[in-house]
Structure 1
């Protein structure tokens, strides 16, 4: 025979089920519900014994089991039990949350409290129930992280976003959210842009496409982070494209580092082994720590010179500091004389330029005569078309192609309109068709010095030929 109390309990559970359809009735006066736990700020989780920390955005749901005794609601509180998969919620936190059911019942003076209690748990879940960090065994790490990743993707797929490139509304299932900045683009736009950058070797632009992205530095420039190979594979890009990206990025870093020595074997020319730029093994394991956009490498003060050469680079290099091992052919050689490794106690001298191969010397001569070096990273640049305001492909520095001077990014053209810059004044459009299109022009800086030296060498040869002709 039903009583008024039975009707109250039944009515409350039915009302709660109409609000939360996921509520499951287990018995006439018992039910359970799984409450999502998605903290507003991802919760740091430390996994022992490795002690690695991950910020988890979605935790396994909190299960609330409710049993309404006969004395509820007038004379007694509801009986509640809380639990979660992997037992991730600390026991003292569980006890505190369960005691809140009685506190609410007392506050409501014996009234119905299930809706208020569920609301309380949902609000507490947004702050991870007041936890600042979790410590869990390493055995649950994979499942917990996979759960968070799966939940994040499922919720994302159901939303609709405006792609910041094509500006069309797209379902989340065909979009990708950047890991660091949370900007959203459709996968097609991302793939088109990133594949094009990688194909052209422009790896310094493999980053978020949003104009709002990047950290503003004190000098007014934006420092933007490159995307990691692991994230590129998630977008997804092909493994072949990501491997090309990682290799080109590593190659550019090595080439910009004046401390790296190359194998003396003419058929190898591999870089020396270094922990600074470890050889790529598996791009699928390369995370964000390998993808920072780095500033051009500068040599220590004692290694810098206006005309760097071996005699400057190796000042103070002694003993085992001279040993280098090629990362490709494993040849052990001396950094100073480039001979096969001869031990610690053999005195050696730097090789001079006369020891370059004929092919290397020809390449060096061409570079010196036909390119202008970037004033920041020294990468040789050659203009194919346009004005003499250049932007370095590698480090993005602005400079003058004629004299090699560094230009202010906010006003690069002022250099060409200043009468005090006599060598470049009103010469913005000189060589508009590039070096190959218009031939020689008067340069300044290092290229100008090379040009002048070549001119006097040719003059000396001409005079010598005239004298020889007179003698004969």
Structure 2
């Protein structure tokens, strides 16, 4: 025969189940529930004996078992059991949480208190039950870290986000959250943008697309970190694209470093081996520390550039002159660029004007068909559009026709100033680019090459006419 106490216990458990659908009724007056442990601040866990410290955002759930005795709630508190699998919660903390159930029952003076107790446990879970750090055996490391990663992905997949590029609401299952800044984009937008940057060689823009992203610098600009190969693979981008990104990024850093010497073999011309830029073997094995080390190198080079370009050292002596090509493994001298001759041989720097035939042909083409940036001297060639150029590398504004630096706040004023006779009203000259209608008069170094080339051809034409008359 059912008693009033039975009805009261049944009513409380059924009400509790309507609030927490995940509550499972085991017996008429017993139930269990698993409570999510997601602290607002990731918990620092030290795994012994390796003393590895990890920030863990999600911990295995706290399993609460409830058994309501016949005397509950008027004369006796509920029987509760708390456990976590694996057992990561200290036993002293578990005992404290269990005793809180009895304290709440006394506070409610024999009234129903299960909802208050579960709410208390949920609030305590947000601060990891008062724990600021935790020390656990190394045997639990993999299981806890994998659980945290899995839960983070599962909860993210269930949410809905507005992609900051296409501005459409997307489920988390088709989105990606950036690791450092937590900005969210749909995977399709990320892949389209990043693949385009990598295919065009614009590796300096392989970063978060949010306008709010970046660390403010004293000069008013923002320092934006490039994405690591590891994160690009997680988005995911193809292995081939990530390898291209890593190689181009490394190549740009090597080319910008004046201390790097290149192999003297004309068929090789690989860079010297250096610990500063280790050769990439497998991008899947590169971790975030590799990217951070590269960023430190980049910051140092920027500071060096601010104080002026560093000249190559030619007064190197002894074994410091030895360099080894990373491609063909040739050992050569940094000073005279001959095969390694030992550290006691006196040698002189090779004349920089001694260029190979291929180098000279390449240099001639660059001087005739490109306009150098006035700031960093990188050669630029226009494919289409107006003659206001922005340097691909240093972002300086300049005129494609005369090579003059343009103020960023008003770059088009240069083409509307009658004093600039060579560029006045010529903003849209060669709108189809060099290859489209490339016949135009240039100024600056390119203009000088253009004039010299014209008179060279004219001299050859006159000579040929004289030879024809003599014959």
Structure 1 position 244 matched with structure 2 position 244: yes
Structure 1: give runs of 5+ residues left out of the alignment: none
- Deviation, 1:321, is 3.0
- Asked if structure 2 preserves the Cα contact closer than 8 Å seen for 1:254 and 1:277, the reply is yes
Whole-angstrom distance in 1 between the partners of 2:333 and 2:86: 56
Secondary structure in structure 1 of the residue aligned to 2:32: strand
1:179 paired residue number = 179
- Deviation, 1:393, is 1.9
1:39 paired residue number = 39
- Deviation, 1:313, is 0.9
- Asked if structure 2 preserves the Cα contact closer than 8 Å seen for 1:25 and 1:32, the reply is yes
Q: Which moved more, 1:46-55 or 1:142-151?
A: 46-55
1:53-452 equivalent positions in 2, closer than 5 A: 53-69=53-69, 71-291=71-291, 294=298, 297=301, 300=304, 312-315=311-314, 317-402=316-401, 404-417=403-416, 428-429=427-428, 432=431, 434-435=433-434, 437-439=437-439, 441-444=441-444
Residues 290-337 of structure 1, C-alpha deviations (whole Å, 9 max, x = no match): 4467569459589956xx8xxx41155333332222111222222222
- Asked if structure 1 preserves the Cα contact closer than 8 Å seen for 2:61 and 2:84, the reply is yes
Measured on the aligned residues, the alpha-carbon RMSD in Å equals: 3.8
TM-score by length of 1: 0.83
- Asked if structure 2 preserves the Cα contact closer than 8 Å seen for 1:256 and 1:296, the reply is no
Residues 331-390 of structure 1, C-alpha deviations (whole Å, 9 max, x = no match): 222222212223333332221134321111222233234333334443221233333321
Whole-angstrom distance in 2 between the partners of 1:12 and 1:296: 66
Whole-angstrom distance in 2 between the partners of 1:172 and 1:298: 38
- Deviation, 1:132, is 3.1
Secondary structure in structure 2 of the residue aligned to 1:146: helix
Q: Which moved more, 1:163-172 or 1:337-346?
A: 163-172
- Asked if structure 2 preserves the Cα contact closer than 8 Å seen for 1:297 and 1:377, the reply is no
Whole-angstrom distance in 2 between the partners of 1:67 and 1:227: 52
- Deviation, 1:36, is 0.8
Q: Which moved more, 1:421-430 or 1:410-419?
A: 421-430
Secondary structure in structure 1 of the residue aligned to 2:145: helix
Residues 449-470 of structure 1, C-alpha deviations (whole Å, 9 max, x = no match): 7678x589969x99xx9xxx9x
Secondary structure in structure 1 of the residue aligned to 2:119: helix
Q: Which moved more, 1:400-409 or 1:360-369?
A: 400-409
Q: 1:18 to 1:221 in 2, by over 3 A?
A: same
Residues 409-438 of structure 1, C-alpha deviations (whole Å, 9 max, x = no match): 333334555678787666544555545534
Q: 1:113 to 1:198 in 2, by over 3 A?
A: same
- Asked if structure 2 preserves the Cα contact closer than 8 Å seen for 1:259 and 1:299, the reply is no
- Deviation, 1:119, is 0.4
Structure 2: give runs of 5+ residues left out of the alignment: none
- Deviation, 1:29, is 4.0
Q: 1:339 to 1:438 in 2, by over 3 A?
A: same
Q: 1:88 to 1:415 in 2, by over 3 A?
A: farther
TM-score by length of 2: 0.83
- Deviation, 1:261, is 1.6
Secondary structure in structure 2 of the residue aligned to 1:66: strand
Whole-angstrom distance in 2 between the partners of 1:154 and 1:250: 36
Q: Which moved more, 1:196-205 or 1:49-58?
A: 49-58
- Asked if structure 2 preserves the Cα contact closer than 8 Å seen for 1:295 and 1:395, the reply is no
- Deviation, 1:225, is 2.7
Q: 1:152 to 1:301 in 2, by over 3 A?
A: closer
- Asked if structure 1 preserves the Cα contact closer than 8 Å seen for 2:314 and 2:349, the reply is no
Residues 202-241 of structure 1, C-alpha deviations (whole Å, 9 max, x = no match): 2223233333433343433333332222222222222222
Residues 140-183 of structure 1, C-alpha deviations (whole Å, 9 max, x = no match): 33222222222222223333334333344433333333333333
Secondary structure in structure 2 of the residue aligned to 1:181: coil
Secondary structure in structure 2 of the residue aligned to 1:61: strand
Whole-angstrom distance in 1 between the partners of 2:72 and 2:405: 81
Secondary structure in structure 1 of the residue aligned to 2:272: coil
- Asked if structure 2 preserves the Cα contact closer than 8 Å seen for 1:263 and 1:331, the reply is yes
Q: 1:132 to 1:319 in 2, by over 3 A?
A: farther
Q: 1:45 to 1:428 in 2, by over 3 A?
A: farther
Secondary structure in structure 2 of the residue aligned to 1:261: coil
Whole-angstrom distance in 2 between the partners of 1:213 and 1:109: 54
- Asked if structure 2 preserves the Cα contact closer than 8 Å seen for 1:63 and 1:84, the reply is yes
Secondary structure in structure 2 of the residue aligned to 1:390: strand
